[in-house]
Chain A
Amino acid sequence: MLELKDFCFTVEQDGQSKKILQNIDLKIPQGRFVVITGPNGGGKTTLAKSIMGIVQPTGGTIHYRGQDITELGITERAKLGISFAFQQPVRFKGLTVADLISLAAGKKLSTVQVCEYLSEVGLCARDYVDREVDAKLSGGELKRIEIAGILARGTELAIFDEPEAGIDLWSFNNLIEVFDGMRRRTDATIIVISHQERILAIADEIVVISGGQVVQQGPGAEVLPALLHADYKYTVCKGGMRND
C-alpha cells in the first residue's frame, strides 16, 4: 500500500548538509495499524510530512497503492486518500470548527454530522461547532478537533502525529477506542507517531526511527517488550499517561 525506497531528506544548514532522513526503506501493507516511535528529533514528523507531500525528498521514491507519488503535491496526495493530523495543529482566525470539519469531509456537513465527529473525540459537541479554530482554543481541544477532521475525511491512509499530546486522561481512553475502531476497519491503514505504551500496545507493527534511520521494525508483540526493557536506549512513557 505504501512503500518508501532509499528515501532521503537533507537540508543545508550553515554551509553544511544535514541528513534528517537517511536511506529509509519502509513498506506498510494495507489495513495495518503501524506505530512509529523513537527519540525526539529522530525524524518521525519529517517522515510523516514526506508521506503527505509537505516535505519533498532529496532522494528516493515513494509509492502509494502501486503508484509513484514522489513528484505529487499535497493536494494530489490528499485526493488520492492520504490524511495527516499535525503534531502542532494550525489555527485559523475566522474559520469555525464546523467549517474545518466540513472542509475535511469535502462537503457541507449538518450540525448533527459535525457533532458526531466531535463526540467521537470526546468534545461536548454543541459547545464547539461555532467556535473559531483560533488562539482561544486550548492545545488539547485543538488536537482533538484535528483528529475529528481526519475521522471526517475517512481516507484509506491516515497518519497521526502524536495525537495523544496534551490530551487529558479521559479523552486518552477515548482516543484508544477511536484508534481501535479504525484498526478494525480492514481497509484503513493507520500510521500513528507516538511515545505512549498504550498506543504501542495495540500496534500491528512498530517502527523505531532514530537519527533519521529506521533502527528497528517488526510486529508489535515482538518490538514492544524490547522497547520496554529497562536497558533500551529509547524511552517510552509507561502506563497510559506521562504523569501516571
Chain B
Amino acid sequence: MTDLTDKKPVFDKITKDLLAEVAELHQRPTGAYNIRLNGESADRNSTANVQIVSKEDVSGIDVIIAPGTVGESIHIPVVLSESGINEVVYNDFHIGEGADVLIVAGCGIHNGGAADSQHDGMHRFFVGKGARVRYVEKHYGAGDGSGKRLMNPHTVAELAEDSSMEMETVQIRGVDSTIRRTDAVLQAGSTLIVREKIMTHGQQLGETHFNVEMVGDGASCSVSSRSVAQDDSVQVFYSNIVGNAACSGHSECDGIIMDRAKISAIPEIVANHIDASLIHEAAIGKIAGEQILKLQTLGLTEQEAEAQIISGFLK
C-alpha cells in the first residue's frame, strides 16, 4: 500500500479525514477502488478480476466482478468537500457466480459553506448464483457551514439462486436529511441480511424504507434497524417484507428516543404462500433507567452511562 499523499492526486486534510471516516481508508487500498471527489472520479484501480468502468450516459461506475473471485475487496468512497455540490450517481455491481467479495462504499460530506450539498446514490447489485457479497456503507457529515448535508442512498439488490448479501449501513453524525431506500428481490435459496445503524440529532430527519420480496423457496431475509434519535430529530422506519414462496423473513426496529425526538416504525409483512413465515419486531423507548443505574454503580456519571449505552447500541 502507498500513502494517499505520495501518489497523485494529492488529497487535502478534509478529504483524507472523510475517507478515514467513511471507508476507514488511511492509505490507498489494495485491490480495486474508485475514489469519487466533488463530483468526479479522482482515482481508480481495477484488478484482473474486478473491472471498474465509468458509465457513458450518467455519472457513476460499473463494477464487474468475475465469476469465482474470492477474497477481494473493493472500495468506492465518495467525498464532497466543496459546498454546494449536488449529484446523482449510479453505481452497478455485477457479482459473478460463485464470487465472494467485500465492497466498502460510503459517503462523506464536508459542508463549510452556505449552499446545500447533496449526494444521491443509486447502487444496484446483481448477485450471481451462489455468490456472496458483504457490503458496508457509511455516511457521515461534517463542516460548520449553514448549507445542509443531504444524502439519499438507494440500494437495489437482485439475488440469484443460493446467493447471499450482507449489508451493513451506518449513519452516525452530521447528515441533515436522509431517505434511505433498500429494495431487494430474492430467488430460491438466497439470503439477505441488512443491518442499519442510524443516529440523528438536532433538527435532522431520517427515513428508512426496506422492501424485500422473496420469490423462491428457501429464501430468507433479516433486516434490522437500530437507531437513536436525539434533540428534535425525527425518524421513520418503513419495512415491507413479502413472502411469495416457502421462505422466512424477519424485520426488526429497535429505537432509542431522547430529548424531544420522535421515531415511528411502520412495518408491513405480507405472506402470500402457506409456507412463508414472517416476523416483525419493534421496540422504541427511552434508555432503560436501570441500565443507567447499573453503570452508575460502576462509577460512571449519568451522562457517561448514557454515552456508553448509546455507543454500545450503535456499535
CA distance A104 to B290 in the complex (A): 16
Binary per-residue interface labels of chain A (88-130) against chain B in the complex, 1 for a CB within 8 Å, 0 otherwise: 0110111110010001101000000000000000000000000
B-binding segment of A21-29, A76-84, A196-204: A76-84
CA distance A93 to B290 in the complex (A): 13
B254 at the binding interface (Cβ < 8 Å):
yes
Q: Is the CB of B309 within 8 A of A106?
A: no
CA distance A104 to B299 in the complex (A): 8
Q: Which residues of B contact A89 (CB under 8 A)?
A: 294
Q: Is the CB of A90 within 8 A of B296?
A: no
Given A86-B294, A94-B313, A75 and B300 contact (CB-CB distance below 8 Å): yes
Within 8 A of A (CB), among B287-315: 288, 290-291, 293-302, 308-309, 311-315
Residue of A nearest to B295 (CB): A103
Given A90-B290, A90-B291, A95 and B309 contact (CB-CB distance below 8 Å): yes
**B288: shortest Cβ distance to chain A, in Å?**
7
| Overall SS of chain B's interface | helix
Q: Which residues of A contact B309 (CB under 8 A)?
A: 92, 94-95
Total contacting residues, chain A, CB less than 8 A: 23
Q: Is the CB of B297 within 8 A of A78?
A: yes
Q: Is the CB of B302 within 8 A of A75?
A: yes
Residue of B nearest to A146 (CB): B294
Given A90-B291, A92-B291, A93-B254, A149 and B312 contact (CB-CB distance below 8 Å): no
CA distance A90 to B298 in the complex (A): 13
CA distance A104 to B311 in the complex (A): 17
CA distance A99 to B311 in the complex (A): 11
Q: Which residues of A contact B291 (CB under 8 A)?
A: 90, 92
Given A73-B296, A78-B296, A90-B290, A95 and B301 contact (CB-CB distance below 8 Å): no
B interface residues (Cβ-Cβ under 8 A, vs A)? 226, 254, 288, 290-291, 293-302, 308-309, 311-315
18 more A-B contacts (CB under 8 A) besides A75-B302, A84-B297? A52-B297, A54-B297, A74-B296, A75-B296, A75-B301, A79-B299, A86-B294, A89-B294, A90-B288, A90-B290, A92-B291, A93-B312, A94-B226, A94-B311, A94-B312, A95-B309, A103-B300, A153-B298
